[in-house]
Structure 1
Amino acid sequence: MIDLSPGGYGSVPPPSHPRPHHNEAGTTNRVEDGRLEEGQPAAPVAQPTSGGGRGHVEEFESDTESASFIGWMTVLFFAHYLIGAIVYRIVEGWSIVDALYFCAVTMTTVGYGDLLPTSAAMQGFTVAYIWMSMGLISFAVGHVTAKAMEDREEELLGAAAAAIMDNETRQYFKITVSLTKIVLFLLSGAFFFSYFEGWTFLEGLYFCTVTITSVGYGDLTPSGEYIKMVCTLYVFIGVIMTSNVIGQVTKQIVDSRLRAERERFYAKALTLERLIAIDKDGSGAISGAEFLIYMLEKTRLVDKDDLDKIHKTFQHFDKTGDGEISIDDLKELVDRKGQLSQEGAALASPRGPGFFSQLSHSVGQLAQGTMARTGMMARGGPRELSGSPPA
Structure 2
Amino acid sequence: KLDQSAQQPWLIDPNYAPSKSSLHRSKTAPAMATINEIRRSEETKPPSSRKPSVFFSQGILFLFLYLSLGVAMYSCTKDKFKATETHPVVDALYFCIVTMCTIGYGDITPDSAATKLFSITFVLVGFGFIDILLSGMVSYVLDLQESYLLKTIKNVNGGHSHDPRSYLVDVKKGRMRIRMKVGLALCVVVLCIGVGVGFMHFFEKLDWLDSFYLSVMSVTTVGYGDRAFTSLPGRVFASVWLLVSTLAVARAFLYLAEARVDKRHRRMEKWVLDQNLTVAQFLAADIDNNGFVSRSEFVVYKLKEMGKVSEMDILQICKQFDRLDSGNCGKITLADLIEK
- Structure 1-normalised TM-score? 0.64
Which residue of 2 is the match for residue 107 of structure 1? 100
- Asked whether 1:197 is paired with 2:204, we answer yes
Quick check: 1:175–1:245 contact (8 Å CA) kept in 2?
yes
Structure that is richer in helix per residue: 2
Q: Following the alignment from structure 1 to structure 2, what is the Cα–Cα distance between the partners of residues 174 and 215?
A: 25
Residue of 182, 187, 190 corresponding to 2:189:
182
- Shift in CA distance, 55/166, structure 1 to aligned 2, threshold 3 Å: closer
Structure 2 match to 1:309: 316
Return the alpha-carbon distance in structure 2 between the equivalents of residues 163 and 250 of structure 1. Answer: 20
The verdict on how the C-alpha distance between 1:82 and 1:296 changes in structure 2, with shifts beyond 3 A counting, is farther
TM superposition shift of 1:75: 2.9
CA 1:123–1:296 in structure 2 vs 1: closer, same or farther (change >3 Å)? same
Alignment of 1:114-153 (within 5 A): 114-153=107-146
Give the one of 69, 79, 90 matched to 1:97: 90
Q: Per-residue CA shift, 1:193-234, capped at 9, x if unaligned?
A: 211122223222222111111011222222333331211110
Give the number of the structure whose alpha-carbon radius of gyration is greater.
2
Matches within 5 A, 1:277-292: 277-292=284-299
Is contact 1:64–1:143 with CA below 8 Å preserved after alignment? no
Distance in 1 between residues matched to 2:92 and 2:333, nearest whole Å: 61
Match for residue 324 of structure 1 among 322, 326, 332: 332
The aligned amino acid for 1:96 is V
Task: Report if the CA contact (8 A) 1:92-1:118 is conserved.
Answer: no
Contact 1:318 1:326 in 2 (8 A): no
Q: Do the aligned partners of 1:64 and 1:70 also contact (CA within 8 Å) in 2?
A: no
3-state secondary structure, aligned to 1:116: strand
Match of 2:273 in 1: 266
RCO (CA 8 Å, sep 6+): is it higher in 1 or 2? 1
CA distance in 1, matches of 2:332, 2:212: 65
Question: Any idea what SS the aligned residue of 2:104 has?
Answer: coil
Q: Counterpart of 1:266 in structure 2: which amino acid? A: L
Q: 5 Å matches for 1:331-350? A: 331-332=339-340
Distance 1:141 1:282 in 2: 52
CA distance in 1, matches of 2:59, 2:332: 42
CA contact (8 A) 2:286 2:297 kept: yes
- In the TM superposition, what whole-angstrom CA distance separates every residue of 1:267-299 from its partner, at most 9, and x where no partner exists? 111233322221212233333322222122111
**Is the Cα–Cα contact under 8 Å of residues 65 and 143 in structure 1 kept in the other structure?**
no
Name the counterpart of 2:220: 213
- Superposed CA RMSD in Å reads 3.4
Partner of 1:236: 243
Q: Is the 8 A contact 1:108 1:214 kept in 2?
A: yes
Cα deviations by residue, 1:43-91 (Å, 9 ceiling, x for unpaired): 4557x99xxxx76996788x47644344434433432332222222222
User: Does the 8 Å contact 1:320/1:329 carry over to 2?
Assistant: no
1:104 is displaced (CA, Å) by 0.4
Partners of 2:186 and 2:252 within 8 A in 1: yes
Percentage identity across aligned positions? 23
Kindly provide the amino acid, as one letter, of the partner of residue 135 in structure 1: G
Structure 1: 5+ residue stretches without partners:
1-36, 333-391
2:66 counterpart residue number: 80
Shift of 1:115: 0.9
Question: 1:357 matched to which residue of 2?
Answer: none
Change (3 A) 1:184 1:91: same
